[in-house]
Amino acid sequence: MRVKIVITIFYCLPILLSFIASRRSSILCRNANLKNIHIRTSLPSPYLPLIFSTYWFMSSKEKPTLGGTRIKTRKRNIAAPLDPAAFSDAVVLIYLDNAGDLELVAKTIESSDLNFSRYGDIFFEVVFIGGRTQTGSVKSDEGERHPYSIIDCEPNREAILPSVVYIQKILRRKPFLIKNLENVTRRFLQSLELFEESERKKLAIFTALAFSQKLSGLPAETVFQPLLKDNLVAKGIVLTFVTDFFNEYLVENSLDDLIAILRRGKMEDKLLDFLPPTKRTTECFSEHFTKAGLTALVEYNEKKIFEVKLKEIKEVLTSQVAEEINIDEVIETVKQQVKDAKLPEIEVVRVIWDGIMDAVQWSGKNQQQNSNSVLRQVKTWAPLLNTFCSNGKMEIELMYKVQMQCYEDAKLMKVFPEVVRSLYELDVLAEDTILHWYRKGSNPKGRQTFVKGLEPFVNWLEEAEEEE
C-alpha cells in the first residue's frame, strides 16, 4: 500500500510542478528578458518544471548592493595664495605702533600669528631697509615703510647695536629664521653698488657688530665670499666695506679674533683680493690700511706673505735636492729666489736646512740608517750651506736650527754631535762658532743632552787650540 502511494506521488509531483510553473512562466520570461522565446508549458516533461523552479528561486534573490560602504575621495592640497605685501605691511605696522622701540617690537612679533616661516626673507628686508624690496633690487617696493630700519640709523655703533641685539632675540625665539638672515645678508652684500655710500658703511658696521656679538646665522663665508664679485672689487667698493668692517670689529676684539673670522671665511691668505686688480700689491695694501689706522693688519699681512715665500722656496729646494740636480744650479736658483723675495739671511739659512732635510729618505726605526742618511745628505749639500753661512751669525743660526730639529724629531736626538762634527769638517761651521754655542748657547730645548753629547768633540777642539 505504501509503495503505491509513493509511486502515485512520484508521477503526480511533476504535473503539479508543471501547473505552478505555467502560472509563473510569463513573469519569469519578463524577468529574464526572454520575450522572443515561446515556452510550451503543456509538455509533460519532468525537466521543464525543474528548470523553471530553479530559475525562479535564483531570480528571487536580491542583487548585491554597496549599502553601508563609504567611498573615500582623495583630498587635494590646496595651497594658500602668497601675499608678501600683506605680511610686509603687517610687520611695518608693528614697528610703527611701537614707535620703533625694538624691545616692544620683539614682544609683539613673538605673540603675533604672522607666517614667519613662509616670509622670513621679507621680514629681514623690513628689518634692514624698512620695507619689502623690489624684485631684483634692494630698493623699497610699494607698500608701507617704517623709519626705524638699519640703513635709517646713524652710521655708528651706538645707533646700530640695538638692531643686532634685537635680531639675536628674534633668532632665539624663532631659530628657523637663521637661514633667511643668511639669504638676505648675502643678497645685500652682492648688491652693495646699489646702496649709497653711507648705507654701505652702516651695513659694514652692522656686520662687524654681528660677528662681535656672535650673532647666529651669519657664517663668515656668507660675508666674505659674496664680496668678491669682480665689479664690486674693481670699483673699490669692497675695499671700503672691509676697511669699515675691520675698524669696527677691532674696537672690542683682537687681531687674532679677526684672523679667525678671515680663516673661517677662507680669506686668511687672500687679503690682497679685496684690492682692485690695478692696486693688488703688497705696497698698496700696506699704504691703504696704514692710513686707515690698521697697522697690526699690515704687519700680519707682511708676515703672511713672508711665510708664503719661504714655503715656496722650501718646496722648490726640496724638489731639486730630491731629484739630485746639479748643486751649482740649485745655488743659483736659491740666490734668485732670495733676491726676488727680499728674504733676510737668517731665514734663508733656516729654509735651506729644512729643504735639505725634507728630501732625506728615512728608514723607519733603524737609528743607524737614519744617522747615515742625514750625514750623507749633509756631506752632499755642504757647498749649498757654505754659500749662505757667510759669517759667524749665520753659522750660529744654523746650529740652533740643527738643535731644534734634533730636539723635535726623536730619531735625530743622538745624531746631533755627528752632524756638528761633519759640518765642521766640511768647513760650514767654524771652531769659534761651535765653542760659542757650547759655552753660551741660549736655546734651552734639549741643550743639556746635546751639550753632553758634544762634550768629547769640544774637548778635542780645546786641546787642539791649546796645542796651537
The predicted pLDDT at position 29 comes to 45
- Is the pLDDT at 54 greater than 70? The verdict is no
Q: Are the C-beta atoms of residues 313 and 351 closer than 8 Å to each other?
A: yes
Q: Are the C-beta atoms of residues 199 and 241 closer than 8 Å to each other?
A: no
Burial status of residue 236 (CB atoms within 10 A of its CB: 0-12, 13-18, 19 or more):
middle
- Is the pLDDT at 52 greater than 90? The verdict is no
pLDDT-derived band at 461, boundaries 50, 70, 90: confident
The predicted pLDDT at position 2 comes to 53
Range in 44-58, 140-154, 228-242 the model is least confident about: 44-58
Instruction: Write down the mean pLDDT value for the chain.
Output: 83
Three-state SS for 140? strand
- Is the pLDDT at 396 greater than 60? The verdict is yes
**CA–CA distance, 349 with 386 (Å, rounded to integer):** 10
Cα dihedral across residues 171, 172, 173, 174: positive or negative: positive
- Is the pLDDT at 103 greater than 70? The verdict is yes
What is the CATH number assigned to the segment(s) 304-463?
1.25.40.180
| Closest to 300 in 3D by CA, of 259, 246, 338 | 259
pLDDT-derived band at 34, boundaries 50, 70, 90: very low
- Is the pLDDT at 325 greater than 60? The verdict is yes
Where do the structural domains in the chain lie, given as residue ranges? 84-294, 304-463
- Is the pLDDT at 43 greater than 70? The verdict is no
- Is the pLDDT at 416 greater than 60? The verdict is yes
Long-range contacts of 112-121 (CB under 8 A, 24+ apart): 114/87, 114/90, 115/87, 116/174, 116/176, 116/177, 117/176, 118/82, 118/87, 119/84, 119/87, 119/88, 120/176, 120/177, 120/179, 120/180, 121/180, 121/183, 121/184
**Orientation of helix 295-322 relative to helix 327-341, angle to 10°:** 170
- Is the pLDDT at 58 greater than 60? The verdict is no
**CA–CA distance, 89 with 81 (Å, rounded to integer):** 16
What is the CATH number assigned to the segment(s) 84-294?
1.25.40
Quote the pTM value. Answer: 0.68
pLDDT (tens digit per residue) in 128-172: 999 988 776 677 667 788 999 999 999 999 999 999 999 999 999
CA dihedral 122, 124, 126, 127 (to 10 degrees): 170
pLDDT-derived band at 423, boundaries 50, 70, 90: very high
**CA–CA distance, 366 with 185 (Å, rounded to integer):** 58
- For 409-426, what is the mean pLDDT? 89
Answer whether 84-294 and 304-463 agree in fold.
yes
Full DSSP string of 345-359: HHHHHHHHHHHHHHT
Phi, psi for 140 (deg, rounded to 5): -65, 140
pLDDT (tens digit per residue) in 347-365: 889 999 999 998 888 766 6
